[in-house]
Chain A
Amino acid sequence: TQLLEQSPQFLSIQEGENLTVYCNSSSVFSSLQWYRQEPGEGPVLLVTVVTGGEVKKLKRLTFQFGDARKDSSLHITAAQPGDTGLYLCAGERVGETSGSRLTFGEGTQLTVNP
């Protein structure tokens, strides 16, 4: 069982549409990070959310951290073909041993068709 459940797993939409990707867990996270990964490359950090209820915006991307710090969402407005990629949520669980150890969701493969 994945500690971080991402949905949907696959998403294929037309340019200009809006979409939301969800990242849920029964565990509490001290922080949650969203990454985007392109084929053959490493994940690129998009944003980190730390405070419950926090909302962060990055151009057309809006990230939200749940009040209880157990879930997060990524909303993309007016998607463009350049948004195509694998979106990953990852977090550090509260109570985890010290140091860096990210738990990853399975990822959402987004395809934006022109």
Chain B
Amino acid sequence: KAGVTQTPRYLIKTRGQQVTLSCSPISGHRSVSWYQQTPGQGLQFLFEYFSETQRNKGNFPGRFSGRQFSNSRSEMNVSTLELGDSALYLCASSVQGLAVNEQFFGPGTRLTVL
């Protein structure tokens, strides 16, 4: 079974621009979660999508948004980029409906904002 894939792997943008990151979950997984990882803050939860609906949201500004498509693929968008948005953005998928929801991570997208 193929793992979680994320594209692109690396991105360089400048302040004020916007960016869209893509995530394809493991086949059969219906939940996709997004996390931001920085050296200072560690892994922080952004949001989770299930059946094309945002089900959970972390404490990030409205510049961070996402969506999920009918095939469970997900995208996240960051508008008006700031220097502090430089981070590794990780996507994780899980089956849902089980007693324990184990999450499986993709390799991440490394975003650098100049």
A interface residue numbers (CB < 8 A to B): 2, 30-31, 33, 35, 40-45, 48, 50, 88, 90, 92, 97-107
Contact = CB atoms under 8 A, between A and B. Distances in A.
B43 to A, nearest CB: 4
Contacts of A103: 45
B33 A100 contact: yes
B27 interface: no
A102 B105 contact: no
A104 B42 contact: yes
Interface of B: 4, 6, 31, 33, 35, 42-45, 48, 50, 55-56, 58, 90, 92, 94, 96, 99-108, 110
A103 B33 CA distance: 12
A42 B48 contact: no
Contacts of A88: 43
Q: Looking at chain B's contact residues, is the secondary structure mostly helix, strand, loop, or mixed?
A: strand
Contacts, number: 74
A100 B101 contact: yes
A66 B35 CA distance: 26
B100 A48 contact: yes
B99 A50 contact: yes
